[in-house]
Amino acid sequence: MNGFSLNVKIECHHAETERLRKVGPTNYVLGPDDYFNDCKTILNSEIAAIKVAIELYEQCLKDKQRFLDTDFGPKNEDDEEGKYKASYYEEKI
pLDDT single digits (tens) 44-88 = 888 899 999 999 999 999 999 888 777 777 777 788 877 776 655
* Strands 35-36, 39-43: pairing kind: antiparallel
C-alpha to C-alpha distance for 29 and 43, rounded to whole angstroms: 13
pLDDT of residue 39: 84
Is the Cβ–Cβ distance between 40 and 71 less than 8 Å?
Answer: yes
| pTM for the model | 0.58
pLDDT of residue 19: 67
**pLDDT level of residue 1 (50, 70, 90 thresholds):** very low
Mean pLDDT of 7-29: 67
Is pLDDT at 35 greater than 80 in this prediction? Answer: yes
45 vs 17, 38, 49, 62, 66, CA distance in Å? 10, 14, 6, 26, 24
Domain containing 39 equals 23-85
C-alpha to C-alpha distance for 64 and 6, rounded to whole angstroms: 48
- 9 located within any domain: no
Name the domain count of the chain.
1
- 51 located within any domain: yes
- 45 located within any domain: yes
Report the mean per-residue pLDDT for the chain: 76
Is the Cβ–Cβ distance between 43 and 34 less than 8 Å?
Answer: yes
